């Protein structure tokens, strides 16, 4: 189960009185952060330094929906990356096999 933790930098005395503004979760070896931007109230943004670190806007306005949206985006990104890695490994394996066969002839 993926656990989200409150990573908000609270001002002194603000903790427990203000809504969390930054959430972090570990997804396997990857960390994902959801945060509100100070100049964009009502907008949730996300990034993962483990993936590409780029800050992106989410469609969801509710934090629970935003968490679900991020996990779907991470799943799609990792799936796409896994397919590209598998293709690259296949190309490397095929190249190695071809070179070994050429040595035999």
pTM of this structure: 0.78
Which residue has better confidence, 102 or 65?
Answer: 65
Q: Quick one: 20 exposed, middle or buried, by C-beta within 10 A (0-12, 13-18, 19+)?
A: middle
Average of per-residue pLDDT values in the chain: 90
Q: Which residue has the tokens 């945060």?
A: 35
**DSSP state at residue 1:** -
Grade residue 10 by pLDDT with cuts at 50, 70 and 90: confident
């Amino acid at each position: 189960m993926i656990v989200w933790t409150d990573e908000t930098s609270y001002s002194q005395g603000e903790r427990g009185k203000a809504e969390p503004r930054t959430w972090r979760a570990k997804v396997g070896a990857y960390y994902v952060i959801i945060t509100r931007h100070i100049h964009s109230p009502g907008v949730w943004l996300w990034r993962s330094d483990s993936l590409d670190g780029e800050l992106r806007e989410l469609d969801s306005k509710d934090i629970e929906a935003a968490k679900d949206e991020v996990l779907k985006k991470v799943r799609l990104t990792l799936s796409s990356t896994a397919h590209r890695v598998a293709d690259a490994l296949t190309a490397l394996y095929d190249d190695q096999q071809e070179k070994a066969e050429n040595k035999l002839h």
